[in-house]
Amino acid sequence: MASHAASPLPPPNYDESAVGKVVLPDPLTGPDGTVVTTSDAWRRSARPHQFELLETHVYGRRLPPLPVTVADGGVERVAVSLADGVAATRVQARLRLGPEPKGRLVDVLLYLPREARRVPVFLELNFRGNHAQHGDPGIRLSTSWMPKDDAAGIVDHRATEAARGLNARRWPIEPLVSRGFGMATAYCGDIFPDRADGRPDSVLVSLDRPVDGALPPDEPGAIGAWAWGLSRILDWLVTLPEIDPARVAVVGHSRLGKTALWAGACDERFALVVSNNSGCGGAALSRRNFGETVEVITRRFPHWFCPAFAGYAGRERELPCDQHTLLAMAAPRPLYVSSATEDLWADPRGEFLAAVAASPAWRLFGLEGLEAAEPPRPDTSIGDRVGYHTRTGAHDILLEDWTFFADFAARTIPAAR
């Protein structure tokens, strides 16, 4: 069990030689313990079984859909000229997830190439509100609760005008829109405020889930709720004539990269799944004990996972699943995993090894995943249906990463002819 909550957090291990030999559960194992050898058996038995293990031990049960409606004045479309002469349409809508009055309101921001018809879209939750994603003064300022972050223009847990564009480096819409992609985003805190006592202010209320007291071991937390929110936003995106419903990619950085992976597992309508620096509880193998661990993450962020996950603190090797089985959930759809050289907390090598260990799921479909013994040199993308790179630098999501995602998307989810 996890140590007492008041005890100091154990220091991270950064010594590769201390990781030891890691034996992973076979991601192709079905409920009776046999390893499947066909794509049909994977779909019928192994995938549902592996999905259920992830639900039971890591993320909690998948949440059922609720109807999504456009609230407060409908969908706003405005022609805008972005930097570098990029002509775009800025779309904003406030969605109600679930029926009134309990259904939470989520502000969605979308940039499309001007005159877009059935374009592919990258959908990504953000950390500090849509207005922080770009300097465009037309973006509505979020009124939702934000974590304390003085440097991010947040006063008394609310955004101020000073917050505009502060995260723009993470969402380079001009180059992506000029390549023909739509870029959609929403603030994760509209769905579940990122704090340990956030449940009563989250979508879990409209889903009639318990919000306080002792929770069932497989009760979803913030990641389950955020992933559900991504699916509800997708419900709406696919109704827009400008968007190709078969080419919506889900992307996420860090905790929201963990979320993107779980969203892609829960909802196969996402045509491509992209995880950036998602680390522990995301793309990195829990069994490696390198950087962030199950104990540390579940003590610092008790609300992200289902309660059962904390029980694997220090016992990661007893998990019946590991994060490569999460990555395998994307198969046969394309999957992209990216790390950063300085982001040792997220265990880049563990992210790479998980992507390799997930790849047999693609082979069942006659596809090639990530076939490599060692990570590529930094700033080089490898892999066929499972792509991978390590960017030089720190924990972040930058134009270099997005350029690889766009190249990969252009190759793996081309427009239907």
d(CA 132, CA 145): 14
Give residue 397's Cα distance to chain centre. 13
- Residue closer to ligand GTR by CB (options 263, 280) is 280
Least CB distance from residue 226 to ligand GTR, whole Å?
11
Residues pairing with 108 in the sheet: 93, 186
Least CB distance from residue 395 to ligand GTR, whole Å?
7
> How would you classify residue 50: left for phi > 0, otherwise alpha for psi between -120 and 50, otherwise beta?
alpha
Binding residues (CB under 6 A) for ligand GTR: these are 254-255, 279-280, 292, 297
- Report in angstroms the alpha-carbon separations of 264 from 49, 50, 274, 392: 16, 14, 9, 26
254 assigned to active site: yes
Least CB distance from residue 275 to ligand GTR, whole Å?
11
- Residue closer to ligand GTR by CB (options 127, 145) is 127
- Residue closer to ligand GTR by CB (options 89, 130) is 130
Least CB distance from residue 205 to ligand GTR, whole Å?
24
- Report in angstroms the alpha-carbon separations of 191 from 31, 167, 214, 246: 33, 19, 22, 24
SS (H, E, C) 97-153: ECCCCCCEEEEEEEEEECCCCCEEEEEEEECCCHHHCCCCCCCCCCCCCCCCCHHHC
Catalytic residue among 254, 286, 338, 359: 254
Residue whose C-beta lies closest to ligand GTR? 254
Contact between 192 and 198 under an 8 Å Cβ cutoff? The reply is yes
39 assigned to active site: no
* Burial of residue 59 (number of CB atoms within 10 Å: 0-12, 13-18, 19+): buried
- Residue closer to ligand GTR by CB (options 215, 280) is 280
- Residue closer to ligand GTR by CB (options 57, 255) is 255
Least CB distance from residue 255 to ligand GTR, whole Å?
3
Q: State the catalytic residues.
A: 254, 395
